[in-house]
Structure formats: C-alpha cells, structure tokens
Structure 1
Amino acid sequence: MKYIFCLFFSLIILSANAFTDPNTLLEELKTEIAKKNIYDSSKEARIRKLKAYQSNLSQTNYDARFDTWDKLYTEYKSYQFDSAYVYVDKMISLSKVTGNKPKEYYSYVRMAFILLSSGMFNETFDYLRKVNVKALSNTDKVDYYFFLGRCNYDLANYSNDKYFSPDYIKAGNKYIDSAVSFCGNDHIMHTYLLGLKDYQEKNYGEGRLRFKKLLEKDMPISMHLRAMVSCSLGAICLEDNERQEGLNLMMRAAIADIKSSTRETVALYTLAELLYKQGNIKDAYSFIQLAKADADFYGARQRKIQIASILPLIAAAELNNTEHQKNRFLVFLLIITALALLVVFFLLMIINQLKKLKVKEAIIEGKNVQLNHINAKLIEDAKIKEEYIGQFFKAISGYIVKLENLKISIDAKLSMKKYDAIHTFVNNIDIKKERESLYYSFDHIFLKIFPNFITVFNSLFAEKDQIWPDEDEVLNTDLRIFALIRMGITDNETIAKILEYSVNTIYVYKMRIKAKSLHPDQFEQRIMDIKAFDYE
C-alpha cells in the first residue's frame, strides 16, 4: 500500500513537471547565467575570509590550520581543482608531520574526490588504496566507498563498450552497497546512493521514485546535491525517451550548479547536446561554450574531452546557422534596397509629375488671372459704353431737336425775309455753354463708373502736389486729361481735340503732372489700375 501511494505521489509530481513551460525554464537559466558572477563573488568572498583567518593562525595550532584548510578545500573542490589540490595537499603534509593517521586517511579521501572530478582515474584509485578504511568515521566511509563506486561508473561511461563497462558497473554497485551500509541515519545520502545504483542497473522506475523524493520541497538538501539529483533524474527521463522532461531537469540542474558556483558539472554539457539535437543551435552553442569555460576554469580533463567531442559539431552548426542568418539578412537587405530604390524611383516620378502639374497650374492660374483681367476689362468697357453711348444718344437727340427747331425757325424767317432776326438768333447760340454741358455730362458719367478715381489719383502724389476739383467743378482739366487716359484715350491729339487744347499743351500737362508723382515710372500704369465700380 505504501509503495502504491509513493508511486501515485510521484506521478502527480511528474505531471506537474511535465506542464512546466520549457521556455520559462530556459529564460530562468539565462537569467541565472547573467547572475553567475554574483554567485561566484559570494564564494570568493567566503574564500578570502577563510584565507585571512588562516593567515593569522599560529604555526603550532595544527588542528585549527587543518580545519581551515579543509574548509578552503570544500569551497574549492567543485570550483577549482588546482586550488583545492593545494589545500588538500597541505592537509596531507600536516597530517604526516603530526603523525595523525586518521586525518591523513581523511585527506586521501578528499584528494580522491578532486582527482576523480578532474578525470584522473588511476590517481584516484592510488590515493584510495592508501586509506585504512577502519580508521575512517562512518561518514568518511560513505564518501570512500561512494568515490570508488563513482570512479568505476565513470570508467564504465568512459569505456562505453560491452566488454569492460559491465564489469566496471558491477564493481561500482558493490562499492555503492558498502557506502549505503554506513549511511546510518543519513536518509538523504542513503536515498541518493540507491537511486544512483538503480540508474546504473537500468532500474529506472525505482530510481525515478528515489530521486523525486529527494527533490521534494521540504527535503533539506544542498544546492549542489540538488543539481546532482536533477541531473541523474534527467538522465533517467532521457533513457525512458521522455526528452522534454529530461531537458527540463537538465535546465534545473544547470540552474542549481550556477547558484552553488559549481564548475565541475555535467548538466550544461548535456543540455547543450540536447538542444543541439533539437535544432536550438544558438542556445546549444552558448551553453557548450559556457561548459567549456567551466571545465577550463576547474581543470576537469574528462569533461574537456567530452566537450571537445561535440563542440566542433555545435560550432559548425552555429557557423552554418550564422551564415544562413547572414544570407537571409543579405537577401532581406537586397529586397529592402530594391524596394527602397523602387520607392525612390516612384517618388522621383511623382515629384516630376508634381512639378509639371505645378507648372501647368501656374500657367492655368496665369491664364485665369488674364481671363479675369480681360473679363473685368470687358465688363468695364461694357459699362463705359452703356453709360456714354446712352448719354451721347441723349445729347445727340437733343442737338437734332435743336437743329430741327433752328431749321424751322430760320426757314420761317427767310420766307419772311427777316434776315436781321436770323443773325440775332444765331448769335444767341452759346457754344461754350454747350461744351461745358458736354464736359459736365462726361465728368458725372466718368465718376459714376470710377467713383474712387479722384481719391486714388491723389494718393499717387504728395499732399502738396495733389489735384482736387473746385467746389463748382466735377473734374478740372488736369483730372479730365487722365480721366480720358483711364477711358483708354491715350493719343495726345485726340485728347487735345476733345478738350480744345493744342497737342503741345496736352503733352506739357501730362509731363508736368507725371513728374510730381510719387512713382513717375509707374504713373500711367497706376492710373490704368484704378478700379471701376464693383462689377464682381
């Protein structure tokens, strides 16, 4: 019943993990990678503090020096091989000097771990053979047998054949059994070791349950062990062809490695390989480069060999991917350039058409102005003709009546031979008065057509030179000359006949008045620009 409950609980956890968004985990991993220096800085700070402490210790305080070196070794053991080696070597030397065999054997076990992590299998066995197991504590015995088991497992993985690997695994399992027998109340290590053995024996169901139990939230395991368990569980999922769950667990393992500043790691390398196979070349290349940097920093020979076997493949794929992206970008750039040139071409065409259109619009506008001017002139001429023709028809009709009456009167007087009366009658005709009447009519009609003529005309002169008609005048002679010019009568001889002056007199009048104008060169044009009545 207990087994069924555990299986049910594990399935629930597995289902929850299955629904974890891999993209979210991938982004979380990238975020933690960006914070890698922060975690490493924290470790370096602890190391500096320990170094400062040990530098102040007395040379005769052997126990304190040994314990401090052991703590420094612990900080370095999964972080940097060379530094860890320095301090464990000091521990060995001090143990020999003081003749403390238990500490010497303890130090050999510690040395074996970093040698194993660095991939030096023969050296690992050499140091472990020096150990008198009976002199170790139970906790150290667990480590001793665990390292022997792991060393055999790593050799099996390194050999990876059907001839030697099974023997290495069999030997490794025996050592793991020995390690388990000394775990006592350390249930965490007990569970982890059995899970590791289950994995090597391909007993994936049992191994899965054990590893999942260790990953429960209330399980007090270190971040480094969490990384190891996640990586082992991920390997089981991959063996069971649960690739996405395996990928997720490898990402969780990599995150835990980064948080614990572990440089001797399998997770990033495995993750890079998985992403490469999935076609995520960009992230695979990024992670394999980071895994290589970690292996170089730590000094893990075996890991360097593993990374070197796949790095060229991922790098080549990344190069191809980069070239592909570059080619796509070039094609895109060419398309954009072609479109830009096409747009520029059409833009130039449109600008050219707009210029032509503007020229045509300017021509049309000019024609419209001319037409408006012509229309205005025609309307003006029509009004002038209407006013003056009507008036002159009226005047001529009056003169015809007068001539008719004159003829009748003269005929009557001739028939009666009253010649003196005819002479008197003719003398009574006042030509001057008739001419003044004609001027009066002309002036009134002109001002009716050009009501602002006098005002606009005088605006062309300084105040002292302005010409205004007297109170009993409508227009005076000066104004009448330019009124005739505004009417379109510009010939001096014609003006002279109308006003009964000599041609020379008219010319002198015009020149004298023009000379006083504010704008002599434009004077006559400005006279012609004086507007008639509002005909719009």
Structure 2
Amino acid sequence: MIRVPVSLFLAAALLWISALPLQSRETGMNLSSVPFREVRLQQTAAVSSPHAGMPEAEIKDEEIRETLQTLYRLMEEKETYMAVKEQQIDGIRKMLATPRMSDEQRYDVNLQLFNEFKTYITDSAIYYAKENIAIGEKLLSSERINDSMLDLASLNIISGMYFEASDLLTSIERETLTPGQLIKYFDNYKQLYRSYAFNNPYATQYAVQSNHYRDSLLQVLDKSSNHYRIVYAEKLYDENRLDASRQILLTLLSQTGGDTHEKAVLSYALGNVYGKEGNRRLQQHYYALSSVSDIKNAIKENASMQSLALSLFEEGEIDWAYACIKSSMEDAMFCNARLRTYEVSTIFPIIDSAYQQKLRKQKDDLQSFLLLVSFLSLFLVVAILFVWRQMHKVARIRKKLYQTNLKLNDLNGELQESITQLNLTNGKMQEVNAELSEANEIKETYIGQFLDLCSAYINKLENFQHALNKKVMERKLEELFRMLKSRDMIDQELRELYQLFDHIFLSLYPTFVEEFNAMLHEEERFLLKPGELLNVELRIFALIRLGISDSSRIAAFLHYSANTIYNYRTRVRNKAAVPRDQFEQMVMKIGVIQRVE
C-alpha cells in the first residue's frame, strides 16, 4: 500500500489558507493571519454539494458516487475555470500600468497578484512577493517588508526551498512583528519543520519542533477564530483524537457556503480524518468535494486530487485513479510547485504502471476477442454457404408447395363458397322453421282454445234454447220477445271473447305491450286501465302480429267497420318513434312465443 504524509498535506493546505489577507479582529489591520474567510469566486455559478457538511450516517453511497461523477466531469472543464482566473489576473495586472501610481498602490496591486498566483503559478507569486520586499525596502516600511518576507517564506516551503525559507524566517526580527504577522511567523515555522520531517531520518526531532511552533501559534490565535479551530483540529488529528477533530471540521464545513477554497481545505482535512479511521467511502467523498472546489477556484497547488487517486487505486479503481493522478500531475507541473510535483511523481509511475497493465490486458483481451471473432467469422462463412445451398433446396420445395397451396386454395375457395351457400340455405331454413314453429304454436294454442270456446258456445246455445222453449211452453211471449231483442248476451259474449283473446295473446307474447310502447314517442304510449289487458289499438296490432293484416278481417273480428280499423292503424303509425313505413314490419318481430302449459 502506498503511504503519503497526509498530515503534511493538511499543513500545506492550511498554510495557503493562512496566507490569505483578512481584516484582523485582534489589531484591526489588514493581515495575512486568519485562514477562514469568504473567498470571492471567479465562477459565475459555483454550486456547493448539498451534503457537504452532513454527518456520516446521512451520506448515501449514491451521493458519494454522484460527487465523484461531478468531479470527473469537471476535470474536462478545467480550462473554463482557468480562463476565468486568467481574466481576473489580467484585470488586476492592468492596474500596474496606471500612470503616476504610488509605491504604496503598487504594493497593494502586487499583493493582490500574489494572492491570485500563490495557488495558481508559484513562480509568479514568488516574483510579486520579491517585488513587494523591494517596495517595502524603498518605503522603509518594516511592516510591509515583514509581510512580504513571510509570504515569500510560505511559498519557498511549498516549493521545497527549505533553506531559503529558513534564511528568510531567521532574518526576520520577531520583536518587530505585529500580532497578525506573528501568527504567520509561527505558522511558517510549523510548516517548515513539518516539511523537514518528511522522509527524514530526524523526523521525530523535526516533528517535535513543528508541534512546539503549533503550540505557540495556538497561544497567539483568538480561540474563537476559525484559524484557531482548524489548527487545533490538526493537533487533535496528530494525537489520534479523531472524533473531536472530525467534529470541529464538520462544524466549520457546515458554516462554509459555496465552492470556496476554504471548503476545499476543510473537505480535504475531513478526508484525512476518515482515511485514518479506515472509512474509505467518506474519505473519497470529502477528497472529491475538495477537488471539485479546487477545480472551480482554479487551485493548481492542491493535495486532494492525488490523495483521492491513491484511495481509488487501493480499491482497484484503476481508471478513475489514473484520471485523478494525471489531473494532479498536470496541476503540479502547471503551478511549478516543485514539492507537489515531487510528491505526485512518486505516485504517478505506480498508478500509471497499473493503468498501462490494465490497458495491455484489455489489448490482449481484445486480440483474443478478435481472434475468436475471426474464427467465428470463418465458421459463419461456411455456415452461410451451407445455408445458401439449403435455401435453394427449400426454395424448390417451397415452389412446389406454393403450387400445391394454390390448388388447395382454389379447392378451399370452392368449398368455402359451398359452405357459404349452405349456411345461407340453413339460415333461410331456420327462419322458415322459426316461422313454422311460431305458426304451429299459435295454431295449437288457438285451436285448443277454439275447441273449448265452441264447446262452451254449444252449451250456452242449448241452455238458451231450453230457456226459449220454457218461455213458449209457459206462454210468456213478452219475456220471449224481450230475450230475443236483448244484446246483453251478445255483448257479454264479445267481452268474454276479447278477454280470452287478450289472455291467450299475452301468454304467447308477454312483453308485447312494453315492446310496442317502446316503438312510440314517450308521450304517445298507451296506459292500460286497471284490469285491462289490451285496448282496441293494441288488440288491432296484436292481430297484425298474429299475421292478420287485412283491415276487413280485423273489423269482422272486432265488430268495427273496415274504415274505423284503417283510421286506428294510421293514427297509431303517426305516433311511432321509428320509421312509419317499417312500423308494422317491426310489430311482426315483437316478442318470443311462450308456450302455454
């Protein structure tokens, strides 16, 4: 497993933050002491991760994967953010061309350029720091000289120029430093000795010296400041008090808005804490968040990208690890930060070798696949030739089958035509059978009732004859004449005849009245009186339903004139809701015959 001094990376990142100018709460002066401030973003749309300061339990694997994917997308867009950075630098650099600019003004502009270049191009930042030393000497301003020398010393440490940094710090008279400069002074010494401890046989001694200066730094820092908290979190980290260190960093990160350089440093520090705890997923998450902020702020002097590459490499994510270490190498070379370049160069060959090995394996797999494809292609050609020959055979057979099918289709067509004719004939026969069945049903019903009726009439005639004979024998001629002239008996017989007809008809067609009314307009429908089975109009159309459509025959049965029957039929047709010319045909289709038991 590749080991990297993550504590050194943390300290180096903190040094860059501590070099940012901010109005000190201790002195009220413009100092370069407190690391956490609101860094002005150069991007027009900086978007922070919605779960940047979440506790561990609230960050899901999908969110971590999403953060990594965002980072890989931004790697392809680095040029866009660099262009914004260059545009801002050009805007500040143009201020140096202002006519009759005072040395004080030139010093301030150089300081702005130093702040822009210190994490972008180290050599340019060193140049402007040296320029400001010269201006400070010209102005005989010990404060400006000390500030610029402290800035230059911090750059020399990052660049690996330890002796130059040590000479600068030794040349500074500690008694002349302001409170804010004293913070930078202790911070630089802390970083210098920590850097000495890297790959050094006297690492323990240098670490003690670094911790000594860190304790001095904590003594002069405002305990309520973010700078104090981050340095104290580093101390807790080195002492393996990881829970307390993590809590401080998470709190600070939750108070940091936007994709600022401050967020990048805090996220990187959290990644180190989780890495030391063995929590690989959150280590990668916070390294990725830090790298996203670095890219958006065009920070070329960074440690999070190479740390993420290492973590991914150790998990076997070779492609992603290679993309990260390649991006980190590009940034280090662009920034010309020799220490960072050296660190990346110790890691890059290992990841690159694994990546190239994977590519070779993929190439070998591809060659094997191509060989297999070639073999399969040859087999396919042979198979195609075989299939082609078989297809010719099949084509000949298919042609014969086609001709046979044509003949079968012709025969089938003739058969279907015969079946159709047969079905039509069967349909007509079924209709005729239905009509015959209905007619037979009617005949059976009415013949039976007719015989009963005739028998009843014969009995009534016999009784009537006996009554007449009795009146003659008794010489009751007046009563005899009265009986002969009276229509009561005839009317009673007609009523009984119609009632019997109605009963028999409705037994055959029980839904006749409802279906008949359904063919009339709603307001014209017949409403029968209580006890009434059919009225005159319904009785007329009942006879029509039985097949008696001649008005004279209907009139004879109902004892009306033929003209009256015609008028009834016309009046009812006028009430129809269906076509009038089809009304009586539709009446013939009413009901299903119900056999009378």
TM-score, length-normalised on structure 1?
0.62
Deviation at 1:255, TM superposition (A): 1.2
- Give the direction of change, closer, same or farther, for the CA distance of 1:367–1:11 in structure 2 (3 Å limit): closer
User: What is the aligned partner in structure 2 of residue 291 from structure 1?
Assistant: 328
Deviation at 1:73, TM superposition (A): 0.3
Partners of 1:231 and 1:123 in 2: CA distance: 28
Partners of 1:250 and 1:229 in 2: CA distance: 10
Q: Retained in 1: the 8 A contact 2:259–2:296?
A: no
- Give the direction of change, closer, same or farther, for the CA distance of 1:260–1:362 in structure 2 (3 Å limit): closer
Q: Structure 1 residue aligned with 2:150, among 109, 114, 121?
A: 109
User: What is the aligned partner in structure 1 of residue 250 from structure 2?
Assistant: 212
Deviation at 1:157, TM superposition (A): 3.0
Q: Specify the SS of the correspondent of 1:209.
A: helix
Partners of 2:226 and 2:110 in 1: CA distance: 26
Does the alignment pair 1:275 with 2:312? Answer: yes
User: What is the aligned partner in structure 2 of residue 85 from structure 1?
Assistant: 126
Deviation at 1:155, TM superposition (A): 2.2
Partners of 1:85 and 1:368 in 2: CA distance: 95
Deviation at 1:139, TM superposition (A): 2.5
Query: Letter of the aligned partner of 1:298 in structure 2?
Result: C
Q: Retained in 1: the 8 A contact 2:146–2:177?
A: yes
Does the alignment pair 1:63 with 2:104? Answer: yes
Report the structure, 1 or 2, having the larger helix content: 1
- Give the direction of change, closer, same or farther, for the CA distance of 1:210–1:166 in structure 2 (3 Å limit): farther
Partners of 1:197 and 1:92 in 2: CA distance: 33
Q: Structure 2 residue aligned with 1:142, among 169, 172, 183?
A: 183
Partners of 2:250 and 2:169 in 1: CA distance: 31
Deviation at 1:57, TM superposition (A): 4.3
Does the alignment pair 1:17 with 2:37? Answer: no
Deviation at 1:342, TM superposition (A): 2.7
User: What is the aligned partner in structure 1 of residue 205 from structure 2?
Assistant: 167
Q: Retained in 2: the 8 A contact 1:18–1:245?
A: no
- Give the direction of change, closer, same or farther, for the CA distance of 1:310–1:365 in structure 2 (3 Å limit): closer
User: What is the aligned partner in structure 2 of residue 126 from structure 1?
Assistant: 167
User: What is the aligned partner in structure 2 of residue 51 from structure 1?
Assistant: 93
Q: Retained in 2: the 8 A contact 1:142–1:179?
A: yes
User: What is the aligned partner in structure 1 of residue 296 from structure 2?
Assistant: 259
Q: Structure 1 residue aligned with 2:272, among 218, 221, 235?
A: 235
Q: For residues 229-274 of structure 1, what are the alpha-carbon distances to aligned partners after superposition, in whole Å with 9 as ceiling and x for unaligned?
A: 2222211211121122112111111112112211111111111111
Who wins on radius of gyration, i.e. which is larger? 1
Partners of 2:231 and 2:117 in 1: CA distance: 23
Partners of 1:237 and 1:367 in 2: CA distance: 81
Does the alignment pair 1:248 with 2:248? Answer: no
Q: For residues 276-327 of structure 1, what are the alpha-carbon distances to aligned partners after superposition, in whole Å with 9 as ceiling and x for unaligned?
A: 1111111111111111111111112222222222221111111110011112
Query: Letter of the aligned partner of 1:26 in structure 2?
Result: L
User: What is the aligned partner in structure 1 of residue 501 from structure 2?
Assistant: none
Q: Retained in 1: the 8 A contact 2:223–2:229?
A: no
Task: After TM superposition, list the pairs within 5 Å mapping 1:1-40 onto structure 2.
Answer: 13-17=55-59, 19=61, 21-40=63-82
Q: Retained in 2: the 8 A contact 1:264–1:298?
A: yes
Q: For residues 340-397 of structure 1, what are the alpha-carbon distances to aligned partners after superposition, in whole Å with 9 as ceiling and x for unaligned?
A: 333332222121222244456679999999xxxxxxxxxxxxxxxxxxxxxxxxxxxx
Query: Letter of the aligned partner of 1:129 in structure 2?
Result: T
Query: Letter of the aligned partner of 1:195 in structure 2?
Result: A
Deviation at 1:45, TM superposition (A): 0.9
Deviation at 1:83, TM superposition (A): 0.7
Q: Retained in 1: the 8 A contact 2:256–2:263?
A: no
Q: Structure 2 residue aligned with 1:158, among 188, 199, 210?
A: 199
Deviation at 1:39, TM superposition (A): 1.6
Partners of 1:123 and 1:183 in 2: CA distance: 26
User: What is the aligned partner in structure 1 of residue 559 from structure 2?
Assistant: none
User: What is the aligned partner in structure 2 of residue 352 from structure 1?
Assistant: 389
Partners of 2:236 and 2:387 in 1: CA distance: 78
Q: Specify the SS of the correspondent of 2:199.
A: helix
Deviation at 1:141, TM superposition (A): 2.0
Q: Structure 2 residue aligned with 1:202, among 229, 240, 243?
A: 240
TM-score, length-normalised on structure 2?
0.56
The alignment yields a C-alpha RMSD, in angstroms, of: 2.7
- Give the direction of change, closer, same or farther, for the CA distance of 1:18–1:158 in structure 2 (3 Å limit): farther
Indicate the percent of aligned positions where both proteins have the same amino acid. Answer: 23
User: What is the aligned partner in structure 2 of residue 431 from structure 1?
Assistant: none
Q: For residues 82-114 of structure 1, what are the alpha-carbon distances to aligned partners after superposition, in whole Å with 9 as ceiling and x for unaligned?
A: 111111111011111221111001100010111
User: What is the aligned partner in structure 2 of residue 379 from structure 1?
Assistant: none
Provide the aligned length of Structure 1 versus Structure 2: 355
Partners of 1:95 and 1:314 in 2: CA distance: 46
- Give the direction of change, closer, same or farther, for the CA distance of 1:221–1:198 in structure 2 (3 Å limit): farther
User: What is the aligned partner in structure 2 of residue 332 from structure 1?
Assistant: 369
Partners of 1:17 and 1:365 in 2: CA distance: 69
User: What is the aligned partner in structure 1 of residue 583 from structure 2?
Assistant: none
- Give the direction of change, closer, same or farther, for the CA distance of 1:240–1:363 in structure 2 (3 Å limit): closer
Q: Specify the SS of the correspondent of 1:263.
A: coil
- Higher relative CO (Cα under 8 Å, sequence separation at least 6) belongs to 2
Q: Specify the SS of the correspondent of 2:55.
A: helix
Q: For residues 441-487 of structure 1, what are the alpha-carbon distances to aligned partners after superposition, in whole Å with 9 as ceiling and x for unaligned?
A: xxxxxxxxxxxxxxxxxxxxxxxxxxxxxxxxxxxxxxxxxxxxxxx
Partners of 1:365 and 1:237 in 2: CA distance: 77
Deviation at 1:67, TM superposition (A): 0.2
User: What is the aligned partner in structure 2 of residue 308 from structure 1?
Assistant: 345
Deviation at 1:179, TM superposition (A): 2.1
Q: Specify the SS of the correspondent of 1:244.
A: helix
Partners of 1:58 and 1:247 in 2: CA distance: 52
Partners of 1:331 and 1:215 in 2: CA distance: 51
Q: Retained in 1: the 8 A contact 2:197–2:207?
A: yes
- Give the direction of change, closer, same or farther, for the CA distance of 1:356–1:83 in structure 2 (3 Å limit): same
Q: Retained in 2: the 8 A contact 1:254–1:268?
A: yes
Q: Retained in 2: the 8 A contact 1:169–1:200?
A: no
Partners of 1:368 and 1:229 in 2: CA distance: 83
Does the alignment pair 1:188 with 2:188? Answer: no
User: What is the aligned partner in structure 2 of residue 461 from structure 1?
Assistant: none
Query: Letter of the aligned partner of 1:328 in structure 2?
Result: D
Partners of 1:135 and 1:321 in 2: CA distance: 59
Q: For residues 190-244 of structure 1, what are the alpha-carbon distances to aligned partners after superposition, in whole Å with 9 as ceiling and x for unaligned?
A: 111111122223332222122111111x336982222222222211211121122
Deviates most, 196-205 or 62-71: 196-205
Query: Letter of the aligned partner of 1:55 in structure 2?
Result: A
Consecutive unaligned residues of structure 1, counting only runs of 5 or more, are: 1-9, 370-536
Task: After TM superposition, list the pairs within 5 Å mapping 1:497-516 onto structure 2.
Answer: none
